[in-house]
Amino acid sequence: MNLDVKYVFPSKLKMLCIALMVVGVITFVAGFLINPDKTWANYLLNNFYFVSLSIGALFFLLIQYIANAGWSAVFKRVPHAMGAYLPIAAVFFILLYFGMHSIYHWTHEGIAETDKIIAWKLPYLNIPFMMIRIVMFFALWILLSRYLKKLTLKEDLQGGTGFFEKSVYYSRVTIFVLALTFPFFVVDMIMSIDVHWFSTLFALKNFIAAFFHGSAIIALIVILLNKVGYFPMLNNSHLHDFSRYMFMLCIVWGYFWFAQFMLIWYGNIPEETAYFVHRWESDWKTLFFVDLFINWFLPFIILMPRKTSRSKPVLIPMIIILIIGQYIDLYLQIMPGTVHENSFGWLEIGTFAGYTGLFAFMVLNALSKMNLYPKNHPYIEESIHHHF
């Protein structure tokens, strides 16, 4: 099999991505003129959404390395390419500086004097320290994901097993770094919106959500590329393995969701239940259950049978539903504390379209610059002939 293949980013698709980006920019401009607060909330939501996909994909990649997984070797360039979105995300998150007042209640001048809880949190929750954290986190993530990409690209040119061993080692380092940074990132960006509220599981639940939806997007990209002629080796066993990731992660997601909700509900302490009471009120109640339904129940039922988890016509709509699922999950975490009312409309659709275009552009562009298959990967043969 010829493994010297490059993905050609078709100009039509490029134009579509750019068109979506233009839609996004126009929506943002209009949004800032009409309702800046709500627009900033959307800005945060979309930024976090796509960073979570990149980080989730990165984590997927790391797991493949450290677990010596053979089946996925041939698809590894896709998660590598998804890391290409991180530098832009870093810039966006730094620009969030200008919107902090719209999103984070605790940044308001003088609030600490009247609010004892915020005063207590000031050593951690203050704008300079938060900006330092954002810069530090992104610097680490970008450095490590780029280094891993460099190693695999060098492996293409020089071969040998040294690069693989090095990748395994740096995967461990990266997991270590992610474990210590991503939870704080979640606390900063999302949990501090409802600044009085706290939950120990919250950050980890978002980590799992990122891993879950990141893996789903990898599968989607692989399947779509297969439809246009790339990845000819993609067979039922590969699809089944992708489905297994989604199936397993949907269970873990549901488990974390339930663990957090049930313990707070059972404990019934006002400081904690306030968060859910807010989301239980009429405006959000439907979404609250829809969130659980499409992120846990649907994939759990649909991906259980062997037949459906090996079928492209099932997997593509399933993943598209999961894309919506992650949006709803973040929408429910961000909007009630910022916009306070459930008003989904053109602003949400336009900004999401813009980011989708940008993300797709960045990922596909990065993918087109690499050889599509890591041809000297030690497990490449195993991966091509994967069958179980």
Partner 1 sequence: MYNTEFRGKLIEGNKSLGQISQDIVRPIDAKTPRWWFISMGISLVMLGLGLYAKYITVTEGIGSWGLNNSVGWGWAIINFVWWIGIGHAGTAFSIFLLILRQKWRTSINRAAEAMTVVAVMCAGLFPLLHMGRVWNFFFVLPYPNTRGPLWVNFNSPLFWDFVAITAYLLISASFWYFGMVPDFATIRDTTKSKIKKAVYGFFAFGWTGSSKEWLRYEALAFILGGIAAVLVVSVHSIVSTDFAVSVVPGWHTTIFPPYFVVGAIFSGFAMVLTLVTMIRKLYKMNDFITDSHVDAVTRVLIFVSLIMGTAYFTEVFIAWYSASEYEYYMFFKNRVFGEYAFQFWAMVICNAFIPQLFWWKKIRSNITAVFIISLFINLGMWFERFNIVVTTLAKDFLPAAWAGYSPSYIEILLFIGTLGLFGAGVLMFFRYIPMIAIHEVKSVAKYDKPSHERKHRNHEE
The residues that touch partner 1, with contacts defined as CB under 8 A, are: 66-68, 70, 116-117, 120-121, 124, 161, 164-165, 168, 172, 175-176, 179-180, 183, 187, 196, 198-204, 244, 248, 255-256, 259-260, 263-264, 266-269, 271, 378-379, 381-382, 385, 387-388
Q: Rounded to whole angstroms, how far apart are CA atoms 149 and 9?
A: 19
Nearer to partner 1, 48 or 207 (CB): 207
Cβ-based neighbours of 109, under 8 Å, separated by 6 or more: none
> In whole angstroms, how close is the CB of 187 to partner 1 at the nearest point?
7
Output the smallest distance, CB 357 to partner 1, in A. Answer: 35
Tell the smallest beta-carbon distance from residue 200 to partner 1 (Å): 4
Nearer to partner 1, 18 or 179 (CB): 179
CB-nearer residue toward partner 1: 92 or 231: 231
| Residue 119 vs residues 105, 109, 114, 116: alpha-carbon distances, Å | 12, 12, 8, 5
How many angstroms separate the CA atoms of 61 and 73, rounded?
9
DSSP state of 371: B
Q: How far is the CB of 118 from partner 1 (least distance, A)?
A: 8
| CA-only gyration radius of the chain, Å | 21
Per the CB < 8 A criterion, the answer to whether 104 and 195 are in contact is yes
Would you say 281 or 381 has its CB closer to partner 1? 381
* Cβ nearer to partner 1, comparing 21 with 204: 204
| Rounded distance between C-alpha atoms, residue 277 and residue 173, angstroms | 40
For 6, the 3-state DSSP assignment is strand
Nearer to partner 1, 37 or 382 (CB): 382
d(CA 383, CA 231): 12
Q: How far is the CB of 48 from partner 1 (least distance, A)?
A: 19
Q: How far is the CB of 379 from partner 1 (least distance, A)?
A: 6
